[in-house]
Structure 1
């Protein structure tokens, strides 16, 4: 069973960015000969996350509001006591971003059937940067059987 490792680079906006990465994953899958298997998407940062949900503009705004209510940036967090930590000069006060990320997930696994992602009608793979703007990297691992292996 072949296993292919790929990377996606994403540039994000300030604050919370939610990107639909489904088309990027579909493009990576299309470059392979995997017919049935799975795609693992893994976020390589502590202030980012992944989720499968509907990519609808108003829902995405609702999600941002929900996350900000759940973990307000203005609350007091020990992680933000930068003067008590050994950090680079440009270190942001981002404890809220770490906590938001913990409420979501760092990875998603999606079945591949007949060479296509087996997502439901309204499902998309959403990437969350909770501490942008930044250049982020997603690890994508595609594994499974090639069509000729049947």
Structure 2
């Protein structure tokens, strides 16, 4: 699953001025990616994850659905955090960049995202 959380991040940063927005997901199978969405890149990311980390029986971590061990390896490839510059309360993303929660773990649909801000 790739879920665009840019709107939620922007709402959090809206009245903060200049500084750094830190986005963190406290889950063992999730990461934060800065990617383009809506043009197929989110699906391409999931395909790339499947290519690099297939859902087969090679994983030692075996509880949950088949191939679930790869979900626990994902944060080594898609970090569970991102830090972004904020200027005048606006996240300084590129034209096509979005902040996305990435989690291929279908065993748990509930996820939290934590935002924090360092004034600067």
Tell me if both proteins adopt one fold, taking TM over 0.5 as the criterion. Answer: yes
| Cα deviation, residue 143, structure 1 | 2.4
5+ residue gaps, structure 2 = none
**What is aligned with 2:115?**
140
Tell me which of 11, 21, 46 is aligned to 1:27. 11
**What is aligned with 2:53?**
71
Higher gyration radius (CA): 1
In the aligned structure 2, how far is the partner of 1:92 from the partner of 1:74?
10
Greater fraction strand: 1
SS in 1 for 2:105: strand
Which structure exhibits the higher relative contact order, with contacts defined as CA atoms closer than 8 Å and separated by 6 or more residues? 1
SS in 1 for 2:94: coil
Alignment length (residue pairs):
118
What is the TM-score normalised by the length of structure 1?
0.72
| Cα deviation, residue 53, structure 1 | 1.2
In the aligned structure 1, how far is the partner of 2:104 from the partner of 2:29?
6
Is the Cα–Cα contact under 8 Å of residues 35 and 42 in structure 2 kept in the other structure?
Answer: no
What's the CA shift string for 1:10-59, capped at 9, x where partnerless? xxxxxxx10110001111222xx321111100110010000111113411
In the aligned structure 1, how far is the partner of 2:21 from the partner of 2:117?
5
Is the Cα–Cα contact under 8 Å of residues 35 and 41 in structure 2 kept in the other structure?
Answer: no
| Cα deviation, residue 131, structure 1 | 0.2
Is the Cα–Cα contact under 8 Å of residues 53 and 125 in structure 1 kept in the other structure?
Answer: yes
Tell me which of 91, 95, 104 is aligned to 1:130. 104
Question: 4+ residue runs of structure 1 moved beyond 6 angstroms?
Answer: none
SS in 2 for 1:34: coil
Tell me which of 98, 109, 115 is aligned to 2:72. 98
RMSD: 1.5
